[in-house]
A and B are shown apart, each in its own frame.
Chain A
Amino acid sequence: MGTALLEARSVTVRFGGLTAVDGISARFAAGELVGIIGPNGAGKTTFFNVLSGVLPPTSGRLLVAGDDLTGARPHRYAHHGIARTFQTPRVFAELTVAANIGFGLQFAGRGRAAAPGLADAAGILEVIGLSAHAAQPAAAITPSQQRLLEIGMALATRPRLLLLDEVAAGLTEGEVEHMARLIRGLRDDLALTVIWIEHAVTTLLRHVERVLVLHQGCKIADAAPAEVVRDARVIEAYLGDEMAQGTS
């Protein structure tokens, strides 16, 4: 078995008496496009926080390309090529859109080889479609543009792996499709590994090749979308009748 780009081994996170993530193991290979779904409170975002180093796990290990980064601070994950977005966009409101991109280029992105087209702020703005807003303060663009900017900031760190936390939440149908195409493009054209959490399950299942289903902090399925939607446990825990009808 080759070395996974990112590997979680029996990761557990407890907040006091609550177990938010309960012994999850998962491997992510280079170039994969993987989705993570699960009902509210399933532990998706907590798991993401562990994968990006924002939250050290209570127990378990995290390996990035074979290096043990368990307990390391978030900037080390960034320097190892793990980039993330946040559910609620966390852009630097007072900086311009271009300067927000410049921030990532100045730190984790510095000294790392850039994918073609992502070498500078102008190229990244082109990819995410915000070139026209480069000089505006990040606070002045719309929330859906801020979600794109979040992705741009992550790309500026010149990552190998992109963790996307509900980037399509609150977007219109057209915007969701645009976002999905952008994400597929990042994987197909730039050979990035993408792990994508989304609440809108149908959109997600259409685009990913593999999906992890979390329920009450546990991983209850890890398979191709077509297989997952037929899994009895998944249907019971999360998808319910709505999905069964949708696929019949």
Chain B
Amino acid sequence: MSGRRILGRDLSVLAVLAVIALALPAWVNEFGVSMALTCLMYVALSSSWSLFCGATRYLSLATSAFFGIGAYAGALTLGELPWLAAIALGAGAAAALAVVMGSAVLHLRGTYFAVLTFGMTELIRHAVTFAEKQIAGTVGRVLVFVPEPGTVYLTVLALAVLAVVTSIAVRRSRLGLALAGIGGDELRAQTLGVDTRRAKVIGFAISAAFAGAVGAAMSVRWTYIDPATVFNPFIGFQTVLIALIGGAATLWGPLVAAIVFSVLAEALRLQLPQLYMMALGLLLILSVLYLPGGLASLRPGILIGWRDALLARRPARRAGAGKVRDA
């Protein structure tokens, strides 16, 4: 398929999904809308996470930091600023944080990068808690100016669509090629002329801007926010898990996984919250071990390969046992 036809297909699929999401509130009850909102939030988070981390294979655990900074930036300004300006401010604050954080840690790879992004997220959470207690003399913030629930839904839907559209656009751009080159062989990309430091900081900031905007939009749902809620590490972990299980290098993997797992999470949370986390953890282990490209890389050929491997194992074991006896 040519590039143009793939683009056409991707945009049509996205448009159909967006129309379905747009029509959903008219058809389902309040619980359904809340579930759909969670889906859209994770579509936006995991698609934008994959935009940078999937291409470059830099595992960032800082999503919670960007989400929390966005939530705080939105919550603090919502009284003075119009709704969309507050969202934009959340995005801007998160992107600025990403530029600072990225400049400090994006020269590290692998575990060091992952651990440091997580450490910095914790540092920011505790710093905000400290500021609340010592400087402002509060524990959290009560949100007085809250928009209509419908506005929040539409905003998060728009952010989710924008995250996927941005992913499509970045993949087709020189920035996307640079990020893929960094993921493939960073030094080779550099010797072919890529300013890898710049590309990484820009990619990291774009991905953070979405997390910040989603944080700003979602904060109003709680009506009261404190650092423990908006910097909740669970949001970051769940984003990473969804993207990895879905296939972070693909466009649709994170989106499909976000919908499946958000529905699963909401459905299981009331009755069996531990079961959901166990299922997610188990799936992550299985996908890392047997399906490193995520569920999006699942093809009939892989299933046949697994079946053959399973069938081949039994006679091999018997033959191995025979050998031991012969010896």
Contact = CB atoms under 8 A, between A and B. Distances in A.
B192 A157 contact: yes
Contacts of B313: none
Contacts of A77: 191
- Band of interface residues on B: 10 to 19
A167 B193 CA distance: 21
Contacts of B188: 86, 90-92, 153
Given A73-B197, A103-B181, A108 B192 contact: yes
B193 A54 contact: no
A229 to B, nearest CB: 33
A30 B181 CA distance: 30
Given A73-B197, A106-B177, A107-B178, A54 B192 contact: no
B111 interface: no
Contacts of A103: 177, 181, 189, 192
A95 B174 CA distance: 15
A153 B184 contact: no
Contacts of A52: 191
Interface in B245-299: none
A153 B193 CA distance: 11
Interface string B158-197: 0000000000000000100110110011011111111111
A74 interface: yes
A169 B93 CA distance: 52
Given A103-B177, A106-B174, A107-B178, A157 B193 contact: yes
Nearest to B249: A94
A187 interface: no
Given A90-B185, A92-B184, A92-B185, A54 B191 contact: yes
Nearest to A86: B188
Contact of A107 (B184, B185, B193): B193
A61 interface: no
A174 to B, nearest CB: 28
Interface of B: 174, 177-178, 180-181, 184-185, 187-197
17 contacts: A54-B191, A73-B190, A73-B195, A75-B190, A78-B190, A78-B192, A90-B187, A91-B188, A92-B180, A92-B181, A92-B184, A103-B177, A107-B178, A108-B192, A108-B193, A153-B188, A153-B192
CB-CB nearest 7 A-B residue pairs: A108-B193, A107-B193, A78-B193, A74-B190, A92-B184, A90-B188, A104-B192
Interface of A: 52-54, 73-75, 77-79, 83-84, 86, 90-95, 103-104, 106-110, 153, 156-157
Given A52-B191, A78-B191, A107-B192, 11 more contacts: A54-B187, A74-B190, A75-B195, A77-B191, A90-B185, A92-B181, A103-B181, A103-B189, A104-B192, A107-B193, A107-B194
